[in-house]
Amino acid sequence: MPIEGEAQKSAADRTNTVCCASSLSAPAATRWLTSPNIALGNLQPVSLLSTEVGGRAARQVLLAIEHGLPA
């Protein structure tokens, strides 16, 4: 179980990754990560990032959004 500092660093790393992979600001990236997403089965993208498959699914949705494609 990660200690609090590690958990905060992990959350910051996820937000930074989304910001870098898209044109989203840090607050927008945080909202995207923590909001249920229809394309991900109404799951929060952040809940999928602990696995490679889930991370890939979240990344695909983010790229689709960025390029104006259906997710």
The C-alpha atoms of residue 11 and residue 30 are separated, in whole angstroms, by 9
Please, what is the average pLDDT of the chain?
78
Residue type, 44: Q
Per-residue pLDDT tens for 18-37?
Answer: 666 667 787 888 888 899 99
Beta bridge partner(s), residue 55: none
pLDDT of amino acid 1? 46
Q: How many residues does the chain have?
A: 71
pTM of the model: 0.68
Per-residue tokens: 38: 């229809």
The C-alpha atoms of residue 71 and residue 50 are separated, in whole angstroms, by 21
